[in-house]
Amino acid sequence: MRYSETITIEDLDTDPFPHYARLRAEDPIAPVPAANCWFATRWKDIEQIARHPDFTAVSDEAPVNAAFGRPNVLTSEGPTHAALRGGIEPHYKPRRVADYIDALVRPIAEAQLAAFRASGSNDLLTEYFEPISALALARSFGFMDVDTPTLRRWFHGLSQGAINFERDPARAAICAAAVQEIEAVTLPLLERLAKTPDNSPLSHMLHSGMEPGQTRPVEMILPSVKVSLLGGMQEPGHGAANLMVGLLQNPDQFAALRADLETRLGPAIDEALRWIAPIGTMMRTATRDTEVNGFAVPEGTAVSCIFASANRDETRWDNADAFDILRPQKAHMAFGQGVHFCAGKWFAKAQIEVAMRVLLDAFPRLAFADGPPEFRGWEFRAPRHCRIAL
């Protein structure tokens, strides 16, 4: 039996990195029955799969299809993918983000910080980073009147479907309830935007590339709305929490960051995303019998490209398991690879930067309240809390 065939979902949820390291060394493209797919764990293999003509994003095995429906921007190709991405991307290009990010995120962060102080809580994850992430994405996307508890309920429900590789009926039911609630809110919004367009991604998804007077069918849009809500609410908040944990575990690096925030905050954000990728996987399917760097992959095989493993590849980074904001900067895979790389990359990083600046301005000294937190997850990985002593 191959080592990959002994790995359980609990192993991965608890700490996937030792398993990824062994797979990189011994069996880098291998079946993992517990996840109902194969894993690709090395940088060079994932880089090739993401651009390989024998692999497609179109997959019957991807959990997001069962959870959110199709077509969606994650598991489509060609003109369909271009049309769906074309509605989302313009609002999140780097120059566009630079124009609005501070005005959008700073008031949210300042209000959340005030609420955090008033609440008596000391958990930055649940009371600061996650709410900022949810509200910033929702407001930027066009959901102007949805409150934080609702957004967080949506996030939790959607995540249960997106990570349901093991096809757990309980997870599927939680996701289905969230999807029903999201559609009940989104459909009236789309109906209004069909008649009175604005500059939101929701509006662009309806109108972009269409003839005057025509709109894209809502059935084509809704799955990608759910994908965007989940990714956009999840990655910045958890990326910021991962950064805070890394800094609190390494006081010398935290001091170096504070001493030169202008130069070091951007690289620190990228290092946190590399160290623990909030979104750790991307699914691809082999369209025929093929090979990747000498490893045979049969036709129809669903391969999960493990970005979180590629980001710790020993052939690319020295001491790759360590959090080190001063290491030489190299591209990482936290936002994916190929034509499906995350359209919200610059929005996510800029949002983390604003949230961190507001926090560090308010609290000149931070430390763990009760020691480093436990992390959970492999498809999505984050600390379970980030409790601080002020």
Handedness of CA 198, 199, 202, 206 (dihedral sign): positive
Residue 344, CB half-sphere, CA atoms under 13 Å: how many? Answer: 25
pLDDT of residue 104: 97
CA angle (329 as vertex; 328, 332 as ends), nearest 5: 135
Token couple for 375: 């992390």
Handedness of CA 293, 294, 297, 299 (dihedral sign): positive
Q: Phi, psi at residue 377, to the nearest 5°?
A: 105, 160
Domains of the chain in sequence order: 3-389 (1.10.630.10)
Q: Are 129 and 190 in contact (CB under 8 A)?
A: no
In angstroms, the CA 357 to CA 105 distance is: 11
**CB neighbourhood size of 335 (10 A):** 22
Peptide bond preceding 71 in cis form (omega within 30 of 0): yes
Helix (H) or strand (E) holding 108: helix 94-119
pLDDT of residue 60: 79
pLDDT of residue 243: 98
Residue that is written with structure tokens 């566009």 in the block: 96
What is each CA distance from 233 to 2, 153, 191, 316, 348, in whole angstroms?
37, 11, 24, 29, 9
Please give the order of strands across the beta sheet that includes 29-32: 29-32, 37-40, 302-306, 281-286, 55-56
In angstroms, the CA 232 to CA 342 distance is: 9
In angstroms, the CA 64 to CA 165 distance is: 9
Residue type for 333, please?
M
pLDDT tens digit at each of 390 positions of the chain? 999 999 999 999 999 999 999 999 999 999 999 999 999 999 999 999 999 999 999 887 788 999 999 999 999 999 999 999 999 999 999 999 999 999 999 999 999 999 999 988 899 999 999 999 999 999 999 999 999 999 999 999 999 998 888 889 999 999 999 999 999 999 999 999 999 999 999 999 999 989 988 999 999 999 999 999 998 888 999 999 999 999 999 999 999 999 999 999 999 999 999 999 999 999 999 999 999 999 999 999 999 999 999 999 999 999 999 999 999 999 999 999 989 999 999 999 999 999 999 999 999 899 999 999 999 999 999 999 999 987
Residue 350, CB half-sphere, CA atoms under 13 Å: how many? Answer: 21
pLDDT of residue 286: 97
SS3 label, residue 30: strand
Within 196-250, where are the H helices? 201-207, 218-249
**CB neighbourhood size of 93 (10 A):** 14
In angstroms, the CA 126 to CA 132 distance is: 10
Shortest CA distance to 236 belongs to which of 137, 96, 145? Answer: 137
Shortest CA distance to 137 belongs to which of 154, 124, 122, 125? Answer: 154
Contacts of residue 104, Cβ cutoff 8 Å, sequence gap at least 6: 136, 139, 140
Q: Are 326 and 63 in contact (CB under 8 A)?
A: no
SS3 label, residue 382: strand
Pairing of strands 37-40, 29-32: antiparallel
**CB neighbourhood size of 259 (10 A):** 9
